[in-house]
Amino acid sequence: MLKSGHGRMYHYRTKEKFMSKNQRCTLAVAMLLLVSCKSDITEVCDEGNKAVITVYNNSLCTPDVSVNGDEIASDLGILDEVSVQVDAGSHEVTTTLSLFTLCTALDWEVEVACGDTVLLTFE
């Protein structure tokens, strides 16, 4: 916008903003809350009635085993097994291997209810 007065010319620029600082902060907080509230546990099981996930190693490799990101076994031995008790819901079971190996790491998504027993075989 150009404005003139007393022989001088002024140029006013208007800034167009996509979002104000307050809007950006509110959006960031909302996204953080959505991400942090994600839970795949559908029911907390009573002690003694929790679901049991067992991983059995039927290979010549020795994987590390994690459930929901928590390591439950390091270098699981050949023909060995490891078990963990969990609440009802969806659980991610992952295996990782050393850098140099002929085996392939495996991942499982397991849906369990209270009292269930699940056997996963690493081959």
Question: For residue 27, what pLDDT is reported?
Answer: 65
- Structural domain of 113: 41-122
Question: For residue 96, what pLDDT is reported?
Answer: 95
Q: Can you spell out the DSSP letters for 60-72?
A: SS--EEEETTEEE
Greater confidence, 88 or 37? 88
Place of tokens 């031995």: 77
Same domain, 54 and 114: yes
Same domain, 56 and 107: yes
* Count: domains in the chain: 2
Question: For residue 42, what pLDDT is reported?
Answer: 83
CATH number of the domain bearing residue 81: 2.60.40.10
Region 92-113 average pLDDT: 93
Show the tokens assigned to 74. Answer: 């390091």
Question: For residue 101, what pLDDT is reported?
Answer: 85
Question: For residue 57, what pLDDT is reported?
Answer: 97
pTM of the predicted structure, to 2 decimals: 0.66
- Cβ–Cβ < 8 Å for 114, 49: yes
Whole-number CA gyration radius for the chain: 28
